[in-house]
Amino acid sequence: DTEVTQTPKHLVMGMTNKKSLKCEQHMGHRAMYWYKQKAKKPPELMFVYSYEKLSINESVPSRFSPECPNSSLLNLHLHALQPEDSALYLCASSQAVGMDYGYTFGSGTRLTVV
């Protein structure tokens, strides 16, 4: 299995809703990442998890809350989002932080905040 699976593929939520994005990989990778990508912009790193521990938080607002329940699963909990948070949210994994391997990306969740 060489895939990173993200669900849901599309999500529309109101500004008062709470929702979660899910990411799963079964490649034995020990590093997992959340990126945010706006239209015609490059992916921007949000969080890095290494061996299920948060290692990097790129000053992301607290309305985004990551969680890594086990080595295969990464969640992003969303609460009280703003319309400007609408974007493509990408999950990625790699063998480990600090190793010279590229990332494998999931297909993303396209989020619209109304």
Q: Which stretch binds other proteins (CB under 8 A): 18-26, 68-76, 77-85, 106-114?
A: 106-114
- For other proteins, the closer CB: 66 or 108: 108
Give the DSSP per-residue string, 38-102.
Answer: -TTS--EEEEEEETTEEEEE-S--TTEEEEEEETTEEEEEEES--GGG-EEEEEEEES-TTSS--
Contact between 20 and other proteins per CB under 8 A: no
Under the binding rule (CB under 8 A), the answer on residue 27 touching other proteins is no
Distance CA 92, CA 32 (A): 6
Closest separation between CB of residue 75 and other proteins, Å? 18
45 versus 80: smaller Cβ distance to other proteins: 45
Distance CA 21, CA 11 (A): 9
Q: Which spans of this chain sit near other proteins (rule: CB under 8 A)? A: 33, 41-45, 48, 55-56, 88, 90, 97-108
